[in-house]
């Protein structure tokens, strides 16, 4: 036998609202309350999480040719919630289109060059660059960048690097620290 209970408010024993409804807005809890969701929180039937998400790094130094943009060969995966990072690029999985946040950092090994450039690309097209000029031999200069993008399923993003020292140079990698890295996640 099925039953229907019709109420606008559910209160705890102290009289504080636990769940209330007014003008098609449902309020769970009150200011200062902790609300635990057991299971999957959804909006319109879609899970509400900051996934897909990934974080990768360069484990060992990568040689960068002079005056050429080279895709970074990230070889250390810290996490990849949806197995969407492969072939040194992140590809938006089917059904996961939306707004994303990305960040990256590239550390050059100590050398002098006129320019060091990071190139963030969407579907093969450069959409953001960051530059250090000049690089100096006494430091390990780092280029960092961050951006938000609206992406559709199948779109991909990747990071390229450039230097013009006159010869090939290395960007820094480490299997224990984040010198050269790339990461991102879907915004809720």
Tens-digit pLDDT profile for residues 63-97: 999 899 999 999 999 999 999 999 999 999 999 99
Kindly state the percentage of the chain with pLDDT values over 90.
Answer: 49
- Write b or e for each residue in 14-40: b if 16 or more Cβ atoms lie within 10 A of its Cβ, otherwise e: eeeeeebeeeeeeeeeeeeeeeeeeee
Higher pLDDT, 124 or 17: 124
Q: Could you give the CA distance from residue 127 to residue 160 in angstroms, rounded to a whole number?
A: 11
Q: Could you give the CA distance from residue 87 to residue 89 in angstroms, rounded to a whole number?
A: 6
Smallest Cα–Cα separation from 104: which of 188, 180, 6?
180
User: Using CA of residue 148, residue 55, residue 154, residue 39, what is the dihedral sign?
Assistant: negative
Mean pLDDT of 146-164: 96
- Residue 110, pLDDT score: 62
- Residue 18, pLDDT score: 81
Higher pLDDT, 186 or 26: 186
């Amino acid at each position: 036998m099925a039953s229907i209970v019709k109420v606008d408010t559910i209160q705890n024993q102290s009289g504080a609202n636990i769940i209330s409804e007014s003008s098609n807005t449902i309020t769970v809890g009150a200011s200062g309350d902790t609300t635990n969701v057991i299971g999957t929180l959804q909006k319109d039937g879609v899970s509400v999480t900051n996934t897909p998400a990934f974080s990768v790094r360069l484990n060992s130094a990568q040689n960068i040719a002079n005056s050429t943009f080279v895709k970074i060969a990230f070889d250390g995966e810290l996490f990849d919630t949806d197995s969407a990072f492969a072939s040194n690029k992140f590809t938006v999985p089917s059904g996961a289109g939306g707004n994303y946040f990305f960040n990256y950092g590239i550390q050059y090994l100590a050398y002098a060059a006129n320019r060091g450039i990071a190139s963030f690309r969407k579907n093969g097209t450069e959409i953001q660059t960051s530059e250090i000029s000049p690089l100096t031999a006494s430091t390990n200069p780092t280029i960092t960048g961050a951006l938000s993008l609206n992406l559709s399923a199948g779109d991909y993003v990747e990071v390229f690097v450039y230097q013009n020292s006159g010869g090939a140079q290395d960007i820094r990698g480490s299997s224990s620290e984040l010198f050269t890295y790339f990461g991102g996640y879907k915004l809720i």
